[in-house]
Amino acid sequence: MSHHFDGKYEAEIKYHLPDHRVFLSQLLSLNAEPFVVNNEETDWFFDNPQLTLAGKNVSMSVRKMSPSGIQLWIVKGPGAAECKAINIDDHQHVRNMLTTLGYTCNMILTKTRSIYFLGEIHITLDHLNNIGWFAEFAIMTHDESKLAGYESELREKAKEFGLTDGMIEKQSYKMLYRRMQAGG
């Protein structure tokens, strides 16, 4: 995996895109380096009713990316910027292990994702069916004190694409998916 994903903390800003084609054209014109293009990502989210990870502001998922073949075990939280991920060899085996440990899969979320590198920033272009297109600008770090500066840097970079603070999506994909399922 790239050094772009090395860190305990992630400064990240997600934007709801009015036109993903315009955004992608701008991104490519800046010679952004593609990491994966049009991967299908499936995330299985796990929790335990007795431990309630969600109640501790923790999210745990197992991700399979195709066709890249990347498989990850991801834990986000408890802090909003905390994100830990490790490469795994067999997503099904890890999911079975979590079930054995008492966790249950409470959501499966699939999206199409492309990841590009632009300097130290990694930019994802995501599509979720019936929800929309999004761009995430992010920088990973081991130094929590750098997060505020990185967030300012990400906002400045997003402005170069014509993205505004009014386009920022504060809800997680999980929350957006639940809202869509509930009809809202």
Confidence at residue 5, expressed as pLDDT on a 0 to 100 scale:
74
d(CA 95, CA 109): 15
Q: What is the pLDDT of residues 135-174, one digit of tens each?
A: 999 999 999 999 999 999 999 999 999 999 999 999 999 9
DSSP H helices, the chain, are 20-29, 91-100, 147-159, 173-181
pLDDT at 1: 45
Residues whose CB is less than 8 angstroms from the CB of residue 45 and which lie 6 or more positions away in sequence, other chains included: 59, 60, 61, 105, 106, 107, 108, 109, 174
Average pLDDT, the chain: 94
For 3-183, which CATH class?
Answer: mainly beta
Looking at residue 7, its pLDDT comes to 78
Q: How far apart (Å, rounded) are the C-alpha atoms in residues 4 and 24?
A: 20
- Model confidence at 183, pLDDT cuts 50, 70, 90, reads confident
Half-sphere exposure of residue 61: CA atoms within 13 angstroms, side-chain side: 20
Please compute the mean of the pLDDT values over residues 16-34 and round it to a whole number.
97
The reported pLDDT for the residue numbered 76 is 92
Tens of pLDDT, residue by residue over 30-64, are 999 999 999 999 999 999 988 889 889 999 999 99
In this prediction, residue 89 carries a pLDDT of: 96
